[in-house]
A and B are shown apart, each in its own frame.
Chain A
Amino acid sequence: MNFPLQIFNTAATPHPWYFYAVFALIGFAFGFTLEMSGFGDSRKLAAQFYFTELTVLKVMFTAIVTAMVLLFGAVGLGILNFNQVWVNPTYLWSGIVGGLIMGVGFIIGGFCPTTSLASASTGKIDGMFFMLGGFFGAALFAETEPLFTHWYNNAGYYGRLTLDQVFNLPVGVVVLIIVLMALFMFWGAEQLERIIGKKDMSREPKLRIIGAGALFALALAVVFIGSPSLEERYQKLTFTRTETIPQLEGQPPIVNTVTYTADEMLANRLVFVSPAEAFKAKYNQAMNPVYLDVRSEADYNIYHIAGAVNVPLERIEEVIPVLLTEPPANTVFILMSNDETAAVQAWKILVASSVPNVYILEGGVNNWIAFFGAEDETLKDVRPAPHPAPDQLAYLFPAALGSRYESCDPSPIKYEELEFEAKIQLQLKRDKSGGGCG
């Protein structure tokens, strides 16, 4: 269950204005809070870098840890699905160089982009100049980006990578460490303000100590709640499908929306696509199929469908971050093993990790060979295996030719007319990255 997100997406799809209104409200609250905190005044921002007043650090880190604790608390309680939350993909080198450049712009200009909005909108002329400069800077980037586009898009690219993965720690522990780090920094910041900024700290509200304690307690709670296991997430999944029931002639067909659990999707074979559908998907403009072959590398080398990517089942979890960040909204993942067993396992892992549009090749590669191999001359030396084990290749190949058999890439002309029951229903999700900041 990912209650608010799903409701928001369902409601906003037919009425884009909802979507804009919610974002405008969030933006309003954002600008309001920044102005209220004093970020419309460049002196307050610049003071951060001369250690006289560390408001920037305090506001920023309080905001980060507050949002982080609430976010991972909600994820742990199962009311928010973390895989549906946009996590900035890691482009390490362009991020670091860009960050350093931003720092220089920050201390010269006295603002960052959003604080310049709060400043300009309250009549600060320097804020307006910063905003204006911003339009030139962004345009300059667009003009110069082609010069280093390869570096920009590839250097240090790790996809969706979070700190708990980097340090191989449970996410709750990382949250707790960051909270402790922030509290220590606040303490340090207050010492600096006292010594360098000559600020009388005895007049600071005592409430902040209680707040720090509350934050620490919440972070501890996040550690204890933990995150829901893959199995728990799988059990909570629901799939919405539209089913068309044809009526007598002249009557419009009835369209029903039906909700299934993940196990029902498997039991009703709604996620199994026939070889014909899997093949036709390649020539369907509306979708962008990605064939994921979850067999061993040895089997893959013997025979695989043209264009299939080999990700052995044991390694499927490693590619999830890429599957979540990379694909355009109309990407359809079609999983295949020799039969169906391994592909079903992979399907369970992927859907529990919120990868959208995942299907399974019905009957696996064996069924594909049976279907497209019947008229494949290049397969003439291949014989059916006498006693194929479950989920193993049901054919004996004299050589490992990969995808160089004719049936690996069937002719779209020869197989232009194919009958199949369409199982794929694209779930077009809003593009969460939206180029938002990227």
Chain B
Amino acid sequence: MTIQTRKSIFKRPEKPYIHPYLGGVILGIVLFLAFFLTGNGLGSSGATSRIDALIVDAISPSHVDNNPYLLKMAGGDKNPLDDWIVPVFFGALLGGFASGWLNGRLKFMTTKGPHISDRTRWLMAFLGGVIFLYGARMARGCTSGQALSGGATLSAGSWAVMFAIFGGAYGMAYFVRKLWN
């Protein structure tokens, strides 16, 4: 690879983000197309569980058999990755990468508030990930699977989940304000 092409991959001029309403309209069309073409909405947290199930199944299949939650995904000869959410998950990773690349935003960095160290931010991100996915599995879906998809199909439960997410975040925001401001 020549230096020139390497430059075109990593040092592309950084472009600004698109307007939130425009982003929302595009996202809404993607969501509608998902329903229109497949009958399913969008999601991703389900894939995290399924990848976990795959790992547990590889290390200790007998543990899967003793856990009804894992059993549903990976019991017997079931392949936990054989589900629509898995290609959506990997597609989203690739799509995020593609947009970052085209818009010159591929960069190793840490996004954080001004008054904390990188390490604190990493720890908090990790902890937030643990908490968020725990809640997402409990609510049977995250911001995409419940709030976006269920919100658009008018699912009563999803609207409750959506308000709870905003409620939880606003309720907690004051206590962790040092992380962000």
Q: Which residues of B contact A110 (CB under 8 A)?
A: 111-112, 124-125, 128, 179-180
What's the minimum C-beta distance from A51 to chain B, rounded to whole angstroms? 9
- Over the window 1-37 of chain A, the binary record of Cβ atoms lying under 8 Å from chain B Cβ atoms (1 yes, 0 no) is 0001100100000000001111111111111111111
Residues of A with C-beta under 8 A to B45: 113-114, 134, 138, 437
Contact B42 A26 (CB under 8 A): yes
Majority-rule SS of B interface residues: helix
| Residue pair A24, B168 in contact (C-beta under 8 Å) | no
- Please determine whether A103 and B139 come into contact, CB atoms closer than 8 angstroms: no
- Does B140 contact A117, Cβ atoms closer than 8 Å? no
Which of B20, B52, B67, B151 gathers most chain A CB within 10 Å? B20
Say yes or no for B154: interface residue by CB 8 A criterion: yes
Q: In the complex the two chains form, what is the Cα distance from A109 to B88 in whole Å?
A: 22
Of B56, B94, B123, B156, the contact of A161 (CB 8 Å cutoff)? B156
Q: Which of A272-327 contact B (CB under 8 A)?
A: none
- Complex: how many Å from CA A286 to CA B160? 38
In whole angstroms, what is the CA distance A61 to B139 when docked?
Answer: 20
B172 at the interface (CB under 8 A from A): yes
Q: Is the CB of A88 within 8 A of B141?
A: yes
Q: What residues on A are CB-neighbors of B173 within 8 Å?
A: 49-50, 107
Q: Please measure, in the bound complex, the distance between the C-alpha atom of A125 and the C-alpha atom of B133, giving whole angstroms.
A: 18
Confirm or deny: A101 has a beta carbon within 8 angstroms of a beta carbon on chain B. Answer: yes
- B8-59 contacts to A, CB under 8 A, are 17-21, 23-46, 48-53, 56
Chain B residue with the shortest CB-CB distance to A162: B154
Closest CB in chain A relative to B49 CB, distance in Å: 5
Question: Which of A86, A87, A107, A178 meets B169, CB within 8 Å?
Answer: A107
Docked complex Cα distance between A438 and B32 (Å): 20
Q: Which residues of A sit under 8 angstroms from B179, Cβ to Cβ?
A: 46, 108, 110
Closest A residue by C-beta to B18: A36
Q: Mark A398-433, 1 if CB is under 8 A from B, else 0.
A: 000000000000000000000000000000000010
Contact present for B145 and A437 (CB under 8 Å): yes
Q: Of B31, B132, B159, B176, which contacts A134 at CB under 8 A?
A: B132
- Per-residue CB contact flags for chain A residues 79-90 toward chain B (1 = under 8 Å, else 0) read 010001111111
Is the beta-carbon distance between B131 and A90 smaller than 8 angstroms?
Answer: no
Bound Cα distance from A247 to B158, whole angstroms = 55
B171: chain A residues within 8 A (beta carbon): 100, 103-104
Question: Which A residues are in CB contact (< 8 Å) with B112?
Answer: 42-43, 110, 126
Contact A34 B96 (CB under 8 A): yes
Contact A71 B17, CB 8 Å, known A32-B95, A124-B109, A174-B154: no
Contacts of A161 in B (CB 8 A): 155-157
CA distance A132 to B48 in the complex (A): 10
- A62 and B25 contact, Cβ closer than 8 Å, known pairs A31-B94, A95-B139, A108-B172: yes
Nearest Cβ in chain A — how far from B163, in angstroms?
Answer: 7
Most buried by B among A5, A33, A119: A33
Taken together as a complex, chains A and B put the C-alpha atoms of A38 and B30 apart, in Å, by 17
Q: Which of B25, B67, B96, B125 contacts A143 (CB 8 A)?
A: B67
Contact pick for B151, options A68, A114, A130, CB 8 Å? A68
Complex Cα spacing A63 to B46, Å: 21
- Are B144 and A30 in contact (CB-based, < 8 A)? yes
Q: Which residue of B lies closest to A6 (CB)?
A: B39
Do A105 and B153 touch (CB < 8 A)? no
Which of A164-172, A345-353, A381-389 makes up part of the contact surface? A164-172
Chain A interface mostly? helix
- Please indicate the chain A residues that have their CB under 8 angstroms from the CB of B144 in the complex: 30, 112-114, 437
Which residues from chain A contact B106 at a C-beta distance below 8 Å?
122-123
Q: How distant is B7 from chain A, measured CB to nearest CB, in Å? A: 16
Among candidates A98, A135, A438, residue contacting B52 with C-beta atoms closer than 8 Å: A135
In the bound complex, CA of A90 to CA of B151 (Å): 12
Of the candidates B32, B48, B110, B157, which one forms a contact with A91 in the assembled complex, judged by CB atoms under 8 Å apart?
A: B157
**A38 and B17 within 8 A (CB):** yes
The reply to whether B46 and A32 form a contact with Cβ atoms under 8 Å apart is no
Contacts A26-B91, A88-B158; is A40 near B140 (CB within 8 Å)? Answer: no
Q: Which listed residue (B27, B35, B91, B103) contacts A62, Cβ 8 A?
A: B27
> What separation, in Å, do the CA atoms of A186 and B121 have in the docked complex?
30
Complex Cα–Cα for A30 and B95 (A): 7
A68 to B32, CA, bound (A): 8
Q: Which residues in B have their C-beta under 8 angstroms from that of A171?
A: 154
Known interface pairs A36-B103, A116-B129, A436-B85; A121-B176 also in contact (CB < 8 Å): no
Distance between A234 CB and nearest chain B CB, rounded to angstroms: 20
Q: Quick check: which of A144-152, A252-260, A335-343, A361-369 contacts chain B, the rest being far away?
A: A144-152
Q: Would B17 and A37 count as touching, CB distance under 8 A? A: yes
A84 to chain B, nearest CB (A): 5
Report the separation of the CA atoms of residues A31 and B103 in the bound assembly, to the nearest whole angstrom: 14
Contact pick for B132, options A60, A71, A137, A165, CB 8 Å: A137
Chain B nearest CB: distance from A85 CB in Å?
5
User: Can you list 21 A-B contacts with CB-CB less than 8 angstroms, sorted by A residue number?
Assistant: A19-B84, A30-B88, A35-B95, A35-B105, A37-B17, A46-B179, A48-B169, A63-B25, A64-B28, A64-B148, A66-B25, A88-B149, A94-B139, A98-B137, A100-B164, A102-B143, A107-B173, A110-B112, A113-B48, A124-B110, A140-B134
Q: A26-B91, A137-B129 are in contact. List 17 more A-B contacts (CB 8 A).
A: A21-B87, A26-B33, A27-B90, A33-B99, A36-B103, A91-B157, A99-B146, A102-B161, A103-B166, A107-B168, A109-B129, A113-B143, A134-B129, A137-B133, A138-B48, A140-B130, A145-B69
Residues of B within 8 A of A (CB): 17-21, 23-46, 48-53, 56, 67-70, 72-73, 83-85, 87-101, 103, 105-113, 118, 121-173, 176-177, 179-181
